[in-house]
Structure 1
Amino acid sequence: MNNDLNQHSRSGYRAKRRKTNLILNSLIIIVLALIIFVAYNIFASGDSDNTSQPKQKPKTEQVKNEKKTDDTALNQESAKTEEAAKEDTGDENETTQNDQQQNNEQAEEASTEGTDSSQAVVSDGGSSANVIRTIENPAWKPVGTSQTGQHTPVYNSNSVDWQEMLNAITYATGLDQNNMIVWFLGRDRSTTNASIGTVSSKDKQQKYRVYIKWVDGEGWVPTKVEELAKIDR
């Protein structure tokens, strides 16, 4: 009887143990399943975020791209500025050439049409022994000017004033500026707003000292021409 009781107790213990093991194994399986599910959701959401959001360029690459864009814009602007400067220079040169041509034409017209030679007073000799004869003509008129405002003589070969002085010399002598050598052109210290020019033809056969005076608003007018025996600056 004792043996039957012991055997029954052992059988109950084993059954209870198997039941406990079954419950524990089930719980383990459930926990593992939950872990796997949670892990899957985490990885799946991470891949989705990476896919939906575009990759940002590294800051270094962005800076390089921005610098390239700025350099390109700067180069384009510089090219436009240079082109505009060339156009302005070309227009300015063309305007200067046109002005000079117009001045030459005006001087030539004045020398051929505007002078009444019948009123010219010609006398032998002049201010020095180098002067062959002196010519003065009250019919000489100012050659015109593009200058405005208070006038101060400018002895610069690139200036408008210089060109207008040459126009007056051409007007008085009839010597073409394309066939003219200017040996001297400067201030006449004997009077105000006056200049003296020594010129000759390129073959030096015609040599003159020309006195000119400034008239406000009208330009330079010749006052006296001396024909020279030799170049005297």
Structure 2
Amino acid sequence: MKGNEHSSRESRLGKREKRKKTNIILNSLIALVILLIIVVSAKIFFGGNNDEALQTDEQTASENEIKENENKTDDQAGDLEQEKEDEEEIEKAREGEEQAAEEKEEAEKAEEESEEDEKVVTEGGSSPDVEKTIENPAWEPVGTSQSGEHTAVYDQSAVDWQEMLQAISYATGVDQGNMTVWFLGNNGPNKSVGTISTKDQSEKYRVYIDWVDGQGWKPVKVEVLNEIN
């Protein structure tokens, strides 16, 4: 009997140990399953958020790029419009300058024609070497930088001398750079007379000029010469 009881006790202990091991294995499997569920859920949850965040970031970047491109397009359009306006302003200024130059040229031409119309030309003159004499009431004083009481100064370095040559050039049309002065001297109180020619002597003149206070020298008569005496 004792032998049977001992054998039965060992059998119960063996079963209890097997049940205990089985419980440990089952609990471990359950814990592992729960852990896997947690990991998968976390991955799904946070991964989804990351995807949404990434999608949002991409959308924002795309919108910013579109806005930036729109701004660039607007800036380029503004620059083109400004360039067009600048070109139009430059063109208007150029046209204005051309028109002013044309008007000035026309006015000078009209003035010259008016002076030509008023010229009085007679054959001969004060001496045998005079081919013809020209007088023109349209002639004006050439202006002066001098002030106060005037006394004619026949010195090539004097301002008065240069202003007399200016009046002679005005009356004859001979530029001072192409002018040879043969004589320039006194012809009475505030009156002078000069004999000049072009450098090649193709044109020869004797010019009479009078001083007008505050206005400078004024041509009064030009004699076209046959020769220089």
TM normalised by structure 1 equals 0.55
- 1:94 aligned onto 2:99: yes
Mapped to 2, the partners of 1:82 and 1:216 lie a distance apart of 50
Mapped to 2, the partners of 1:86 and 1:196 lie a distance apart of 49
Pair 98,217 (structure 1): closer, same or farther in 2 beyond 3 Å: farther
Quick check: 2:141–2:215 contact (8 Å CA) kept in 1? yes
Mapped to 1, the partners of 2:204 and 2:115 lie a distance apart of 18
Pair 124,102 (structure 1): closer, same or farther in 2 beyond 3 Å: same
- The aligned counterpart of 2:47 is 43
More deviation in 208-217 or 86-95? Answer: 208-217
Write the mapping of 1:170-185 to structure 2, written as runs, cut at 5 A.
Answer: 184-185=174-175
- The aligned counterpart of 2:152 is none
- Superposition CA RMSD, Å: 5.1
- The aligned counterpart of 1:177 is none
Quick check: 1:142–1:219 contact (8 Å CA) kept in 2? no
Mapped to 1, the partners of 2:37 and 2:45 lie a distance apart of 12
TM-superposed deviation, 1:120: 11
Quick check: 2:121–2:134 contact (8 Å CA) kept in 1? no
- The aligned counterpart of 1:226 is 223
- The aligned counterpart of 2:130 is 132
| Amino acid across the alignment from 1:98 | E
Quick check: 1:132–1:229 contact (8 Å CA) kept in 2? yes
TM-superposed deviation, 1:83: 4.1
Where structure 2 has 5 or more consecutive residues not aligned to the other structure, the ranges are: 63-67, 147-158, 160-165
Q: Summarize deviations over 1:63-115 as a string: whole Å, max 9, x none.
A: 999999878766665554444333322211221121121122123223324x5
Percent same amino acid at aligned positions? 13
| Amino acid across the alignment from 1:228 | L
Aligned residues: 186
